[in-house]
Structure 1
Amino acid sequence: MTQHRLRDGFGYGVVATIAMSVLMLMALISGLSPMPQPVPKAVVEQLFSAGLPKPAMMALAIGLHLGYGGLIGAVLARIARPVTLLKGLALGVGLWAMMQVTFLPFLGWGLFGMAITPKIAVATLVLHLVYGGVLGWALDHDTSSTGRTSPTTTD
């Protein structure tokens, strides 16, 4: 059961990451995003400077973002029993807060993105609520789509 829980959590974590990423990209393309670039891309650029060609940099950013989202989904599925929409949203808020005080200052954007604009804090909160909401909802409703025992209940 634990293996199924981890696999499902990882898979739904990737799906939730894709959902938040699509929204982020739509906002960037439309000009509505207050962020100068996607955070995963900015982090990879900060870590590797100009050491990687742009296609490799984008592939690494996408891979790391999806992998991180999947890993966090697996962790939630493993430790929270049962996983609910509310727990997913709480996870999203926790991840958002961690991002505000670690990744954004690392990028030079300041705490909560304040070095650029406070709108970054709001935009990234919405994105993380989408991630947590999709993840929590998917794991909570997994039994209805598969007809098997929920991967997020007890062993």
Structure 2
Amino acid sequence: MITTNSGRRAVTWSRVPAGAGWGAVATVAMSALMLAGVAIGVAPMPKPIPAALVAETFGTLPEPVRLVLAVVAHLGYGAVAGALLAVLVRQVSVRIAAGYGALLWVVMGLVWLPYLGWGLFGTAVTPKVAVATLVLHLVYGLALGLLLDRRKEAVG
């Protein structure tokens, strides 16, 4: 944000590409951990959340279409969230970004998991979903914070 001559805060749009790009990269880090957990059988979720959201929203789709939609939606959500953080916070730190990841977890726990029928924070499936998804969102926030903090001179 910058301050205009009238004293109002103006959005620093030049930070959007870096925030979106690093948000997508942070989503890849989060997704890799999520998919590893599913692959080795330690993830408490019945299926990866982006895939579950696509299935719930669009119904029966061919597997390749469902997979592409899930990947695009998750990367897009992460990119938009990263861009939003980069625009709203002038100097992103790891601490701020980790808190932002936790805030995104709250949104997921209050909106998206109930939408799936998994209850608040996934507790209708198991309370372990809440812990696992918090860890994943902290990984997103920490990765985003490290990337945006490291690059703050280049993005704003």
TM-score (norm 2): 0.90
| Counterpart code for 2:43 | S
Cα displacement string for residues 116-151 of structure 1 (whole angstroms, at most 9, x for unaligned residues) = 1000000000000000000011100115xxxxx341
Match among 41, 61, 80 for residue 31 of structure 1? 41
TM-superposed CA distance for 1:7, in Å, is: 0.5
Match status 1:119 vs 2:123: no
Specify the alignment match of 1:21 in structure 2.
31
Distance in 1 (alpha carbons) for counterparts of 2:97 and 2:105 = 12
Q: Which runs of 5+ in 2 are unaligned?
A: 1-10
Specify the alignment match of 1:8 in structure 2.
18
TM-superposed CA distance for 1:3, in Å, is: 4.4
Match among 90, 95, 100 for residue 109 of structure 2? 100
Q: Which runs of 5+ in 1 are unaligned?
A: 144-148
Residues 1-155 of structure 1 aligned to structure 2 (within 5 Å): 2-50=12-60, 52-143=61-152, 149-152=153-156
Tell me the percent identity: 49
Cα displacement string for residues 51-98 of structure 1 (whole angstroms, at most 9, x for unaligned residues) = x21100110010010011001101100110101101100110000011
Distance in 1 (alpha carbons) for counterparts of 2:90 and 2:41 = 40
Q: Give the total of aligned pairs.
A: 146
Which aligned runs of 4 or more in structure 1 are off by greater than 3 angstroms?
1-4
Distance in 1 (alpha carbons) for counterparts of 2:115 and 2:121 = 11
